[in-house]
Chain A
Amino acid sequence: MAGIRESSIGIAALPATAIIYSGPAFADPPLSYLSAFGPKADSTASLTWGLLIISILVTAVMTGLVIWAIFRKRAPVSGPGPEPETHHISTFNIFGWGLGLTALILAGCVGWTMMTLAAIDQPPKTPAVNIEVTGNQWWWRVRYLNDEPSKNFDTANEMHIPAGEPVKVTLRSEDVIHSFWVPSLSGKTDVIPGQLNTTWIEAREPGTYQGQCGEYCGLQHAHMQFKVIADKPADYLAWRDNQLKLAPTPAPGDPQAGLVVFEKRCGACHAVRGTMAGGYLGPNLSHLMTRSTLAAGTLPADQGDLAGWISDPQSVKPGTRMPHVPLSGDEMQLVITYLSSLN
C-alpha cells in the first residue's frame, strides 16, 4: 500500500516540515496525518507541525536545563550530604520569565487554533457532491445523495470523489459510536447513533486515501477501514454513471445460475441493483468488483479471497455479522463466478 497515493504532495506549511519530511525514513504511511492532501487537512497539518515543533523545542530545552542543573554542583551520593542551606534568589527571575514566555506561546497557540477552526469549519464553496456515510459494526454504508431520488445509489467501504471539489459527508450510525477519519484529508468526526454529524472532505489531487474507524466499536474495530478515491472530475462522473446502472446482466450459463443461488442464499442481506436480491443488512454488492477490498479492508477483492470469505467469515474476521451460509462446492463456485462479474 506504500504507493497508494499516486500523486501525493507533502505539504510544506513550515520550511522545517519539508526538510524533515523529505527523509526516506518518513515514507508515507497510509494513515499518517503528518502530511496532508487537501485544503482542510493542510491547515490542520500546519497546526500539528507547529505544535509538534514547539513541543520538541520545549522538551529539548527543559531536558537540557535539568541535566545542566544536576551536573552543576553535584554532591557525593554516599555519606552524609552537605549541610542544607538556602540561597535566596529572586523568584521572579525563575518564574517570571519562564511563565511569561509560556503564556506568550500559549496565547499564540490559542489564536492559531481558533483561526484554523474558523478556516476549516465550512468548505470553501458549496459542496457539489453529497454523501451519507453510515457506520455499522464493522463496515461503512456509503449512499450518494442526489436531488432526484432516482439518482441515489449505495455502495460500501469505498467512496469516489471528484478531486479539487469539496464533498459534504453526513454521518449516521446504525448501532454504536464509530468515527469517520481520513487522516490525509480530514480529522475525525464521530458517528453517533441518534445524532446527525456532518463533515466535509476535499482532495487536491487524484489519488487513493486510506480511512479508518476512529472510535473503538467492538471486536472488529481494527478491520473497519475504508478508502476515499479522488478521481479527475470526468473519471468521477464516469464512475458515478456506472454505479447508477443496474448490475450487469449475467451471461447465460454459470453466471446466470450463480445469480439464482445468490438471490436465494445471499439476497436477504445483500442487494444487487436490478435483481431480486434486495437485502439491506449487509453491503450493497451491485458493482462489487469495482472495489479493491472485501469486508471493510480485511481482504483484497479477488476470487480466491472472496471464496475464503464466504466459506468461513468467522475465521477471516472473527465476530463479523456476516453469517456462515452453507453452500455446496458447486453453489459456491457459481456464486463466485456471478459476483466476479459485477463490474
Chain B
Amino acid sequence: MANTMTIPAVQETPELRARLDRIWETPKGFAGWLSSVDHKSIGIRYIVTAFALLVIGGIEALIMRLQLARPNQQILTPAQYNELFTMHGISMIFWYASPILSGFSNYLWPLILGSRDMAFPRLNALSYWIYLFSGVFLYAAFAIGIAPNAGWFDYVPYANQQYNPGQGIDVYAMALILLGISTTVGAINFVVTLMRTRAAGMSINRMPILVWGTLTASAGNILAVPAVSLAFFLLWLDRRFGTHFYDVPAGGQPLLWQHLFWMFGHPWVYAIVLPAMGMVSDGLPTFCRRPLVGYTLVALATVLTMVIGFGVWVHHMFATGLPDIGMSFFSAASFVIVIPSAVAVFAWTATIALGRPQLTTAFLFFASTIVLFVIGGVSGFMTASVPADWQFTDTYFIVAHIHYVLIGINVFPVLGALYYWFPKMSGRMLSERLGQWNFWLMFIGFNLAFLPMHLTGLWGMPRRVYTYGADFGWNTLNMITTIGSFVLALGVLLLIVNVVMSLFRGAAAGPNPWDAATLECATPSPPPPYNFAVLPTVASRHPLWEDRLQESDERSRITVGPALDNGREALATSPIDAQPDAILKMPEDSYAPLVLGLALSALFVSMLAMSLPGVLCSFAVGLIAMLIWLWPAGLSFRPLRTTDG
C-alpha cells in the first residue's frame, strides 16, 4: 500500500461550505449554463425536455382522438393521421418515457447515493445534449413537413424506399441512432456511478430500489440498444445505398427487422418501467411511515424481470407464422414474467396495509400505480397466450394494454415523483389542493379513456386505422375514449399550472418536507452544487430513520466525514460493500460536451443529407472536442485509506 493516503473525517462548517461553493459553482449566466456538468442541472433539463415532449405527444394524441371521436370523420387525411400516430408513438416511447427517468435518476442518484456527482459528469452533459439535439432534429423535420409514417415499429418492407419514398423514415432512423448514443453513454454512466461512487457503507443491500431499477434498466439498455441501432442503420443503408437486408425481391427478410426491433423493443419496455417502479418503491414507504415490505425480494424481482425480459420478444410476432414449438417457449416465458411483477404489487400493497398512509398527492399517484399496473399486467398476461394473442394483436386491446403500462407505470409514478421531489429540486412545495384536483382529473380521465378501450379491442377495432365505419359497434366507445382523453389532458394542464404557480408562490420546503429516510433529504432544498459538505457514511437502508426504527445500534454519519476540498473531488468506493478505496478528481465545467454533441448531431444531419464534406467536417470538429475534453488537466486517481477519527 505504498501510495495510499489517509484523509481525516471532519465536522462540516460554514467555512467548508463556502470553500466548496467556490470550487463547485458553475459560472453564472447562460454561458455558464451551457458548460455546466452539474448532475442536478442536467437532471432538471432532462425532466423539462422530456415533459415538453410528453405535452407535444399528448397534443398529437388529442388531435387523433378528435378524428376518431365519431365514425367516418375527415378532420385528418389518412396521410396526416399516419404521421401523427407515428410521431406520437416515437415521441412518447423514445423521447419521453426513457429520458424522463434518466432525468430523475440523474438528479437523484448522487444525492441518494451520498456522492458529489455522477461518475462521468461530462459524459452526463453529452448524454443530455445529444438527447436534446436528436429531439430537435426529429421535430425540426416534422415542422418542415418531413415525418415518418410507418409507425414507431417501422416495419419493413413498408418502410423501404419502394413503398415509402421521401425522407421521413431516414429522419427517424438518424434521430433514433443518435438518441441511442445518448441512451448508451447515459446507461454506462449510471452503471459506473453505481459501482464506484456510492457513499461509504452503502453496500448493495442498502441501495434504494430506484437505484436498483435504474441500474437494471441501464444494463438492459446497454445490451438492447445496439439491436435497434443496427436495425435502423441497415434500413438506412437499404434506403440510401441500395443494400438488400430487407429487400424482399433480392432475398431480404422482413422478419429480420422484426427480430432486431423487438429484441430491443421488449427489454426497452422494462427499461422504461423499472426505474419508475423504483420511484414507487422508494416514495410509497415515506408516506406509509414504514420501510418497504420485502426489500430483498423487490430488488431481486427487479433484476429478474429484466433478465426474463430479454426472452420474450417473440410475443410481438406470434402471428408471423413462426413454428408453434418456438412460440411455446416465448409464450411460457411471457407468462413467467408475471411472477417478478407480482412481487412488486404485493410488496407495495403490504407496505400500505402495514403502514399508516398519508393521502398526499404523491401518495395517490404512487398508490394508483398499483391498480393501473395490475390492469396493464393482466392484459399483458392475456397476450402471452399465443392463440388468444392471434386475436388481440393489432387491435385496440393492445392499445389499451400499452397505455396502462406506459401511463400507468411510467407517467403516474413519474408525477408522484414530481410531487415528491419537486420540493427538493426547487425548494418549494407544490400546492396540495391543486395536486388533488390534478390527480383525480388524470386518474378519472385516464381510466375513462382507456378502460373501455379494452372492449373496443375485444369488439375487433384494428389499430392504426384513420377512420372506421358507423356499423362496427365502436361509435359510443370511441366517443367515451375521446372525452376521457380530454379530461386527462385537463389534469395535465392543472399540473403545469401548479408547477408554475408553486415555483413562485409555493411554501418553503426545507431539507426534508416529507420526513423521508434517504440521503437526499439530508441536503438543503435545493441542494448546493457539491451536494454534501462532508461525504456521509451509511449504516443502514434508512439513514434518516435510524433513531426511530432502532433496527441496530449503528448510526449513519452525515455531518462528519471526509471533506475532500482540494478542488473537485469525490469518493470512490468498492462495488459490493462500498468501502472507500480512492479519491476521484472530478472534471471542471466544460463546453466540450456541448460541442461534441453538436458535432455528432451535425454528423447525422450530414448523413441524412448524404453530404460527404458535412460528414468529414463534423467528424473533425467532434475529434477536436474530444481532444479538449480528454486533455490531461492534473486529473489523477489516488488510492486511499480513511480513518474513523
- Which of A66, A91, A190 is B293 in contact with, Cβ under 8 Å? A91
Of the candidates A74, A177, A195, A197, the one whose C-beta lies within 8 Å of that of B356 is A74
Q: Does B354 contact A (CB under 8 A)?
A: yes
B157 A222 Cβ-Cβ under 8 A: no
Collect the chain A residues with CB atoms within 8 Å of residue B342's CB: 98-99, 102
Determine which of A59, A137, A188, A215 lies in contact with B391 in the assembled complex, contact meaning CB atoms within 8 Å: A188
In the complex the two chains form, is A81's CB within 8 Å of B289's CB?
Answer: yes
Q: Is the CB of A75 within 8 A of B357?
A: yes
Q: Do B386 and A117 have beta carbons less than 8 Å apart?
A: yes
User: Is B554 an interface position by the 8 A CB rule?
Assistant: no
Complex alpha-carbon distance, A222 and B324, angstroms = 29
The reply to whether B394 and A84 form a contact with Cβ atoms under 8 Å apart is no
The answer to whether B462 touches A213, judged by C-beta atoms less than 8 angstroms apart, is yes
Q: When the two chains form their complex, are residues B157 and A177 in contact, meaning their CB atoms are under 8 A apart?
A: yes
Cβ–Cβ < 8 Å partners of A70 in chain B: 352, 357, 359, 367
CA distance A6 to B22 in the complex (A): 83
From A66, A103, A175, A212, residue with most partner B Cβ within 10 Å: A66
CB distance from A14 to the nearest CB of B (A): 14
- Tell me, in angstroms, the Cα distance from A330 to B469 when the chains sit together: 32
Asked whether B254 lies within 8 Å of A194 as measured between CB atoms, the reply is yes
Contact status A86-B391, CB under 8 Å: no
In the complex, the answer to whether B473 meets A110 with C-beta atoms within 8 Å is: no
Asked whether A1 is an interface residue with its Cβ less than 8 Å from the other chain, the reply is yes
Contact with B along A101-121 (1 / 0, CB 8 A): 011001001101110111011
Closest to B455 in A: A34
B385-A113 in contact (CB<8A):
yes
Chain A residues whose C-beta falls within 8 Å of the C-beta of B468 in the assembled complex: 222
Task: Summarize B's interface: helix, strand, loop or mixed.
Answer: helix
| A183 CB-CB contact with B under 8 Å | yes
Query: In this complex, what residue of B is CB-closest to A68?
Result: B353
Let me know if A63 is at the binding interface, CB within 8 A: yes
Instruction: Digitize B30-50: 1 where CB-to-A-CB distance is under 8 Å, 0 elsewhere.
Output: 000000000000000000000
Asked if A82 meets B356 with Cβ closer than 8 Å, knowing A31-B461, A319-B79, the reply is yes
Residues of B240-256 whose CB lies within 8 A of A: 248-249, 251-255
Given A85-B290, A189-B319, do A44 and B79 touch, yes or no (CB 8 Å)? no
Please tell me if the beta carbons of A103 and B471 are within 8 angstroms of each other in the complex: no
A125 interface contact, C-beta 8 A: no
Residues A74 and B357 in contact, CB atoms below 8 Å apart:
yes
CA distance A192 to B346 in the complex (A): 42
B354 touches A218 (CB 8 A): no
Which residue in chain B gives the minimum CB-CB distance to A102? Answer: B342
Give the chain B neighbours of A62 by CB distance below 8 A.
Answer: 345, 349, 370-371, 374
CA distance A198 to B320 in the complex (A): 10
Question: Do B462 and A195 touch (CB < 8 A)?
Answer: no
Contact of A51 among B248, B324, B349, B388 (CB under 8 A): B388
Question: Hey, which chain A residues are within 8 Å of B459, CB to CB?
Answer: 29, 31-32, 34
Q: Which residues of the partner chain B approach A193 to less than 8 Å between Cβ atoms? A: 157, 248, 254
With contact pairs A55-B378, A75-B356, A94-B293 given, residues A319 and B254 touching in the complex (Cβ less than 8 Å): no
B427 at interface, CB cutoff 8 A: no
Is B394 in contact with A110, judged by CB distance below 8 angstroms? no
* In the complex, chain A residues 129-182 whose Cβ is within 8 Å of any chain B Cβ: 137, 175-177, 179
B585 → A minimal CB distance (Å): 38
Question: Which of B186-194, B260-268, B330-338, B618-626 is the contact stretch?
Answer: B330-338
Are the C-beta atoms of B394 and A214 separated by less than 8 Å? yes
Docked-complex contact A81 and B82, CB < 8 angstroms: no
Complex contact A76–B358 (CB within 8 A): yes
Residues of A near B392 (CB, < 8 A) are: 48
Tell me which of A28, A29, A118, A212 has the highest count of chain B C-beta atoms within 10 A of its own C-beta.
A29
Q: Are B289 and A63 in contact (CB under 8 A)?
A: no
Q: Given A59-B374, A84-B289, are A192 and B255 also a contact pair (CB < 8 Å)?
A: yes
With both beta carbons as reference points, the residue of chain A lying nearest to B327 in the complex is identified as A117
Q: Which of B354-399 contact A (CB under 8 A)?
A: 354-360, 367, 370-371, 374-375, 378-379, 381-382, 384-395
A33: which of B157, B289, B458, B463 is its contact (CB, 8 Å)? B458
User: At the interface, yes or no: B125 with Cβ under 8 Å from chain A?
Assistant: no
Stretch at the interface among B175-183, B406-414, B544-552, B631-639: B544-552
Inter-subunit contact B331/A34 (CB<8 Å): no
Partner of A31, one of B352, B472, B515: B472
List, in ascending order, chain B residues with CB within 8 A of A189's CB. 319, 321, 390
A30 to B352, CA, bound (A): 45
Return the contact of B290 from the options A28, A87, A112 (Cβ within 8 A): A87
Q: Which residues of B contact A43 (CB under 8 A)?
A: 387
Contact call A216/B248, Cβ cutoff below 8 A: no
Given A106-B339, A193-B254, decide whether A221 and B294 contact each other with a Cβ distance below 8 A. Answer: no
Contacts of A177 in B (CB 8 A): 155, 157-158, 254
CA–CA, A29 and B468, complex, Å: 13
Known: A51-B382, A94-B294. A83 touches B289 (CB 8 A): yes
Contacting B471 at CB < 8 Å: which of A1, A75, A84, A216?
A: A1
- Decide if B360 touches A77 in the complex (CB within 8 Å): yes
Interface assignment of B431: CB less than 8 Å from any CB of chain A? no
Chain A: which residue is nearest B291 at the CB level? A86
Chain B residue with Cβ nearest A87? B354
Q: Is A74 a contact of B359 with CB atoms below 8 Å?
A: yes
B505 interface contact, C-beta 8 A = no
In the assembled complex, the Cα of A321 lies from the Cα of B548 at a distance in Å of 74
* Chain B, range 249-298, C-beta contacts under 8 Å to A: 249, 251-255, 287, 289-291, 293-294, 297
B314 at the interface (CB under 8 A from A): no
Q: A27-B473, A84-B517 are in contact. Are A47 and B352 (CB under 8 A)?
A: no
Whole-angstrom distance from the CB of A57 to the nearest CB of chain B? 9
B303 to chain A, nearest CB (A): 16
Residue numbers in A under 8 Å from B163 (CB-CB): 137, 175-176, 218
Q: Min CB distance, A342 to chain B, in Å?
A: 25
**Chain A residues, CB < 8 A from B289:** 75, 81-85
Contact: A84 with B151, CB < 8 Å? no
Given known A-B contacts A59-B375, A177-B254, A194-B253, A98 and B387 have beta carbons under 8 A apart? no
Closest partner residue, chain A, to B544 (CB atom): A84
Q: Is the CB of A51 within 8 A of B381?
A: yes
Question: Which single residue of chain B is at the shortest CB-CB distance from A217?
Answer: B158
**B226 CB–A CB distance under 8 Å:** no
| Contact partner, B370, options A66, A99, A183, Cβ 8 Å | A66
- Is B387 in contact with A47, judged by CB distance below 8 angstroms? yes
Q: How far is the CB of A183 from chain B (nearest CB, A)?
A: 5
Extra A-B contacts (10), CB below 8 Å, given A63-B374, A76-B358: A32-B473, A68-B353, A85-B290, A99-B346, A117-B324, A187-B390, A193-B254, A216-B150, A221-B465, A222-B465
A-B contacts, 26 listed (Cβ < 8 Å): A33-B460, A47-B387, A55-B378, A55-B382, A62-B370, A66-B367, A70-B352, A70-B357, A70-B367, A81-B514, A84-B291, A84-B515, A94-B347, A95-B294, A106-B381, A109-B385, A113-B386, A117-B328, A118-B324, A177-B254, A188-B393, A194-B252, A215-B394, A216-B151, A216-B394, A318-B79
Sorted nearest first, the 9 A-B pairs with minimum C-beta distance are A187-B390, A31-B460, A29-B473, A222-B465, A55-B378, A69-B353, A197-B321, A69-B352, A194-B248
